[in-house]
Amino acid sequence: MQKRIAIFGSTGSIGTQALEVIGANPSLFSAEILTAHTNENLLIEQALKFNPNIVVIGDEKRYLKVKEALANTTVKVFAGEDALAEVAAMDCYDVMLAAIVGYAGLRSTLQAIECGKTVALANKETLVVAGDIVMQKALENKAPIIPVDSEHSAIFQCLVGEGRNKIEKVVLTASGGPFLGKKPNYLVNVKRDHALQHPNWTMGAKVTIDSATLMNKGLEMIEARWLFNLKPEQIQVVIHPQSIIHSMVMFEDGSVKAQMGLPDMKLPIQYAMAFPHRIPNSFPRYDFKKPNTLNFEEPDLKTFRNLVLATEALYKGGNMPCILNAANEIAVFAFLRNRIGFLDITEMVERTMGKISYIQNPNLEEYFETDGEARNFAASLIQM
């Protein structure tokens, strides 16, 4: 039976690759809803190709252009941030692919969960910001959450059939990004274009910078804590430069299961959309005939201190991960616009974590307030 997919963030890296999967499997999937924030040209192109039921353009100033471009189609056009949550509550789709980058994806994802929808989660910030509330709502509404991040998809796949077996720990692998082995005296001069050159993965700008600073792995630790109901001490990060093993699970008997494959985000996207089935594809395969060494090493915590800050937030809990995420989003945004240096990202995050009031058991409204306060303070640190 064909699954109707709602892609929230269809013009980003995850969204465009998801549409490739849908295009290659028209009997299995249809694109029912497509949304974008400002990239109206690509959204129009996608809508004309896939003929969804609904499109949403987040920036209301671009509504008219989208509406006029799709006037001769049956596609319904909505605009504005409120429309994202309203469309997420509709009955016209089966699976939401939550691929809006950053905190902006939280509201629509929560709405889908409250409606009991299956959520293929590519937006890690949703769980970083309010993981306790999100997972509780998923439980209450019987809304399955299937991870799309390659690391969490790997853990998810390793756990299939292991429901009664106790996890000793999970091991998240990190490529180390473009600056593996570099020291602060090198990183102080790093520019935007260099930081965007990831050695293994093709990703959006924000997650690529997070990978370069190792913040991405820190956010993934927090996400894993909520997704798999783990204690902080059960989560380990190792550097694996080849990006062939995407993560591992060690069980209480010492056995380790790993999920392997070439670095290609279309694989975890397809797995999440097709779950519980695996479907054939033409993606490149890892060739065991070619000699290759798989290396593992400890991360350099003295140089890449974002991972230390994220670990502190993981252990502290409460609204601290929300503060961490908000400050990081502002800092990365500033770095991508050449407003701050590469090492300033960590400093901004650390100062914000030390400034914003800690709340041990925040409600959703307090998470929203924390996010706003942290963003405002982090923004004030940027030199005008």
Q: Return the CATH number at 46.
A: 3.40.50.720
Mean pLDDT of the chain: 95
Instruction: Collect all residues with Cβ–Cβ distance below 8 Å to 174 and sequence separation of at least 6.
Output: 211, 214, 216, 217, 237, 238, 239, 240, 299
Domain count, the chain: 2
Asked if the structure places residue 188 within a domain, the reply is: yes
Q: Is the pLDDT of residue 343 over 80?
A: yes
13, 152, 304, 305 from 348: Cα distances, Å: 27, 28, 14, 12
- The residue from 119, 147, 175 where one domain ends is 147
Q: What is the structure's pLDDT at 265? A: 94
pLDDT digits (tens, 9 = 90+) for 13-31: 999 999 999 999 999 999 9
As a whole number of Å, the CA-based R_g of the chain is 20
* 36 Rama class: left (phi>0) / alpha (psi -120 to 50) / beta: beta
| Residue 183 shares a structural domain with residue 84 | no
**Domain carrying residue 206:** 164-263+297-316
End-to-end CA distance of the chain: 55
Residue 98 has which token pair?
Answer: 């939550």
Calpha distance 213→315 (Å, rounded) = 20
Map tokens 């925040």 to a residue: 362
| Residue 123 shares a structural domain with residue 256 | no
pLDDT digits (tens, 9 = 90+) for 272-327: 999 999 999 999 999 998 877 899 999 999 999 999 999 999 999 999 999 999 99
Q: What is the structure's pLDDT at 201? A: 67
Is the distance from CB of 273 to CB of 178 less than 8 angstroms?
no
Other C-beta atoms within 10 Å of 313: how many? 25
| Residue 200 shares a structural domain with residue 310 | yes
pLDDT digits (tens, 9 = 90+) for 350-372: 999 999 999 999 999 999 999 99
Other C-beta atoms within 10 Å of 196: how many? 16
Residue 106 has which token pair?
Answer: 């939280």
Instruction: Tell which residue, 146, 302, 150, has the closest CA to residue 220.
Output: 150
The CB-based long-range contact list for 296-300 (8 Å cut-off, 24+ gap) reads 296/173, 296/238, 296/239, 296/240, 297/238, 297/239, 298/238, 298/239, 299/174, 299/176, 299/214, 299/217, 299/237, 299/238, 299/239, 300/181
Instruction: Please give the single-letter amino acid code of residue 67.
Output: K
Asked if the structure places residue 220 within a domain, the reply is: yes
| Residue 187 shares a structural domain with residue 54 | no
Asked if the structure places residue 372 within a domain, the reply is: no
